[in-house]
Structure 1
């Protein structure tokens, strides 16, 4: 666990509070480091470069030049809180989408964050994408990125309480966490049409079996794909 604190924070108080946690207790191993003062947002921007996923797709920071004008380019300004493609789970989902024939298809991005997966699907040929997220800031980030990429007219965005009841899609992708994927399996499983495709990530390799078990009844699942300690589960609706 890593925590960042303002320089004026009394770290003795922080340690004392942590020692009261039942999983840590007094004397837990820890290290306190003083970080040099930097413009961390600028530092992050300087180290975010265009990245290629699969055969066709590039994710490009909005402040960088496009490396290949003939490729499928998604211009992204995710903000500090949402997906950029650098995390293995986002990478696994982008590579999967790049390998699909999405022309004319409808795609649901369940837990859309920055909108990176929904927007990539639209740029790869999907006719329509639907993004769902519990965070209003994620909805706004997705909306801004869709406008930046000229696809806002084909992207619908909803908080869960506002989403239509009878949503269906040819492709459903959910890059969240193993716990919610298991808990929400009854909801997520009804979203793909018969024969539709499902892609799940945000899952540690050690959690793959339990997530597969939650979806195996309604989907014919493919072999699990791993990247570093993370994995992707894909399948087709029976």
Structure 2
């Protein structure tokens, strides 16, 4: 069995995504190291340098990994692989994500914090924009929570089919690129693009973005432009030492009711768009 071992944790979704994209057939975490399983030795990007290749006795790592994987409770949502759907507590909304996709599965603190924050908002009948949708977890969560119209936007075209597949796992049918929540009838769309293409001012009632602080700083004016007056803003993916950058950006654009929540090295920031 061929293993590439390097320092890190699976909380680092970027690291995990890079390993999946390099051809890993499975990942696990042990004692501060990420272990990536490969069928054959492959040339890795510089971002993955510093690890070591190991030849080990073969074992059924997939069965062990599945055994250890637990559902993630995030407010009213429980993120769960399909084989654990039966353990979702009554009253929780299950959000099925198959681990092993190229992008996040909801286990990272930033995704969980944002999902919890969405669950505290009255989304019924609202229009929600998920910027940097990736695996689509936050957009799917918003629709499950009752949003009438949800758009997941990402500049990376590779994410779009992954997000659509995840929506299909959750029962969202697809008609001409628009998926529909089977329970509420709300629409869910994933598309490649940027906020520059969302030109209708005040179109969205809620905006959520799991990016990094420098991008939140760059996009703050666009967040304000596309949000309806007083609309909630949910920002995550922010390292604690980068929080001042986000605070200044939101103050600059007139956002109000700015609040923070911290977990480990990560922060969630919520705010409301100015009324005028």
Q: Same fold (TM over 0.5)?
A: yes
Matched, 1:99 2:120: yes
Secondary structure of 2:199 counterpart: coil
CA distance 1:70–1:166, change in 2 (3 Å): same
Question: Of the candidates 267, 271, 274, which is equivalent to residue 231 of structure 1?
Answer: 267
Structure 1: distance between partners of 2:109 and 2:272 = 22
Question: Of the candidates 68, 74, 89, which is equivalent to residue 68 of structure 1?
Answer: 89
> Which segment is superposed worse, 199-208 or 68-77?
68-77
Give CA deviations for 1:103-141 in whole Å, capped at 9, x if unaligned: 111111101111111111111111111000122221111
CA distance 1:44–1:82, change in 2 (3 Å): farther
Q: CA deviation at 1:81?
A: 2.2
* Partner in structure 1 of residue 74 of structure 2: 53
* Partner in structure 2 of residue 220 of structure 1: 256
Structure 1: distance between partners of 2:59 and 2:157 = 29
CA distance 1:9–1:194, change in 2 (3 Å): closer
Contact 2:96 2:170 in 1 (8 A): yes
Give CA deviations for 1:158-200 in whole Å, capped at 9, x if unaligned: 1116944327211100001112221222223312111101010
* Partner in structure 2 of residue 77 of structure 1: 98
Secondary structure of 2:160 counterpart: helix
Question: Of the candidates 199, 211, 220, which is equivalent to residue 165 of structure 1?
Answer: 199
* Partner in structure 1 of residue 220 of structure 2: 185
Segments of 5+ residues of structure 2 without an aligned counterpart are 1-5, 8-18, 20-35, 173-178, 181-186
Give CA deviations for 1:45-76 in whole Å, capped at 9, x if unaligned: 4443212112x221111232332243211111
Secondary structure of 1:190 counterpart: helix
Q: RMSD value over aligned CA atoms?
A: 2.9
Structure 2: distance between partners of 1:193 and 1:229 = 31
> Which segment is superposed worse, 99-108 or 68-77?
68-77
Greater percentage in strand: 2
Q: CA deviation at 1:94?
A: 0.9
Structure 2: distance between partners of 1:39 and 1:207 = 41
Structure 1: distance between partners of 2:100 and 2:150 = 21
Aligned residues: 221
Secondary structure of 1:189 counterpart: helix
